[in-house]
Chains A and B, each alone.
Chain A
Amino acid sequence: MTMVEDDLREALRSKAAVFGTDPEAMGRVERRIRRNRNRRAATAAGAAFAVAAAAVAVGVTGQHDDGPAARELLLTAADAAASAPAGTGRYWHTSGLSEELIQVGSPGRGTYQVRERARTDLWMPQDAAAPAWIRTSGLGAAPATKADEAVWRAQGSPATYRTTENGDVKIPAKPDKPLTERIKPGGYGERFGQELTPEDVRTLPADPARLRTALLRLIKRASADEGDEQLFDWGGSLLLRYPASPQVRAATYRMLAGLPGIRKLGTVTDRAGRTGTAVGLNAGVDAQGSRFTERLVLDPKTGRALAWESVMTGKGGKAAGTARAGQVETAQLTLESGWTGEGPPGR
């Protein structure tokens, strides 16, 4: 141990003592969680620590290999995406909807699920120097099914719900006022799960192999997460909300077609009631012991991505009593997207 190392240890210790903490910090985190929930409901393919678990789940469930069907579907979507018109405008605008099932209840009286929904509008600029904007309107939360509603009534029809997993957060039933905010560089990860800026997207290559390398570099730059689940997650987000050129969109589908483990899930109806075809990856097990698959719903004829949904494929022992395998746990839906000359109202 050299002198400088001893000194450094001491210097760091004395500097560390300078930083105080806000007694309201927990409340601030809860507010952030609530904001985040509305923006991008829950986890997409997760952290490095979960990759092993996900890999095991793929093996254990032993689904028949419909990888070739998934590849064929994604390549068809790629061809359609490549021939879409490029378009231009000041902003790439997407209108979306996000939803999440949340386990709530009162201690000792049973748990049930509410579905929280929010409408999200995003404006990503053509001009790298201009800011991106997001407008979020919380649509409120309500018991998810008839069974949930029965438990809610039995517990006295509370106007606010209290979460019963991972902390006690209050979820209001009522809608929120719309909130328009500028997205700071460095703020994309918190909102969408990927630290990917419109500027990053502009520089992405249109060759699938080079795109894969470029995305892996961005993933590594931004987070502690890694693996094919991340490529699926980032690729899905890119298709759903970013202003990528038709060529980069096509390359994204082709890159996804090359991911091992990706499966065709067939025709599905998304949370907005639209019919599409889904591809998915197993996403591992949560703290309640439930298993999930994450799926990208797309329209192969137009090459448009419709939704990203996390579906419970096996109910865990600690899941809410009313939870059912097959339920869509979280969803981010893109209802409309395209170039526009208009920014957010009033900006």
Chain B
Amino acid sequence: MDEASFTALFNAHYGPLVRLAGLLGADDPEDIAQDAFARYYRRRRRLRDDAAAFAYLRSTVCNLTRNRRRHLGVVRRALPVLFARTEEDVPADFTAMVREDHRELLAALDALPAKQREVLVLRYWMDLSEREIGKVMGISAGTVKSHAHRAVAALQGSLREKA
């Protein structure tokens, strides 16, 4: 990448990466995104274009979020809201901006195994293909397909239980 494009890269991708971390259930999505950019800076010699850079950043956000959640021992119970530990932590916006049935669906998403959740977020929020998801997660397109299949079935199951 050329000179000064670090700032351009940051401006273009910081927001989407914060949202990606948040949707994956990170406790502090901005911390994850900032960590990813700092790591990217160290790797920059090897990532020669913007597409490779964004792919690296996305993978890093997924891995960091997965690791932090595991390290924190965040075994999240079926919380009424997904990214808060207590009611006070829930941003007022969340309840105001997200419909109740969507909140239930997001809570079910948060209870899935990490890789299944990643596949769904990358597919339905980032609109990546199975191949692209495989690249981000370092798994085959076939594995992506089977994660997606299981994840959707699990979501349907947990929503039926609630109904």
Residues of A within 8 A of B (CB): 2, 4-5, 7-19, 21-22, 25-26, 28-29, 32-33, 36, 40, 42-43, 46-50, 53, 164-168, 184-186, 189-190, 193, 195, 220-224, 226, 284-287, 292, 318
Contacts and interface: CB of A to CB of B under 8 A. Distances in A.
A51 to B, nearest CB: 9
Contacts, number: 172
Given A29-B34, A223-B63, A224-B63, A15 B106 contact: yes
B67 A287 contact: no
Most B C-beta atoms less than 10 A away, residue of A10, A18, A184, A285: A18
A166 B56 contact: no
A172 B34 CA distance: 22
Contact of B138 (A13, A193, A226): A226
24 contacts: A4-B155, A5-B152, A7-B105, A11-B99, A12-B23, A15-B97, A18-B22, A18-B97, A18-B98, A26-B10, A32-B37, A36-B42, A43-B45, A43-B46, A46-B47, A47-B52, A49-B55, A164-B3, A168-B7, A186-B68, A186-B71, A223-B59, A223-B60, A287-B44
Contacts of B4: 167-168
A60 to B, nearest CB: 16
Contacts of B6: 166-167
Given A8-B109, A42-B45, A46-B43, A16 B125 contact: yes
A17 B18 CA distance: 11
B42 A193 contact: yes
The residue among A164, A190, A226, A287 with the most chain B CB atoms within 10 A of its own CB is A287
A185 B72 CA distance: 9
A47 B39 CA distance: 11
A166 B1 contact: yes
B14 A4 contact: no
A32 B47 contact: no
A19 B97 CA distance: 11
- Interface size bucket, B side? 35 or more
A26 B9 CA distance: 11
Contacts of B159: 4
Contacts of B29: 19
Given A21-B15, A167-B4, A190-B38, A220 B138 contact: yes
Across the A-B interface, give the 4 residue pairs with the lowest CB-CB distance, nearest first: A167-B6, A46-B46, A224-B59, A50-B46
A284 B43 CA distance: 12
Interface centre among A36, A43, A292 (most CB of B within 10 A): A43
Main secondary structure of the interface of B (DSSP, over half): helix
Contact of B47 (A10, A49, A165, A186): A49
B109 A224 contact: no
Contact of B44 (A8, A14, A16, A43): A43
Interface in B121-144: 121, 124-125, 136, 138
Interface string B21-47: 011000001100111011101111111
A32 to B, nearest CB: 4
A286 B45 contact: yes
A14 to B, nearest CB: 5
Contacts of A25: 14, 30, 33-34
Contacts of A47: 43, 46-47, 52, 56
Given A186-B71, A190-B35, A42 B42 contact: yes
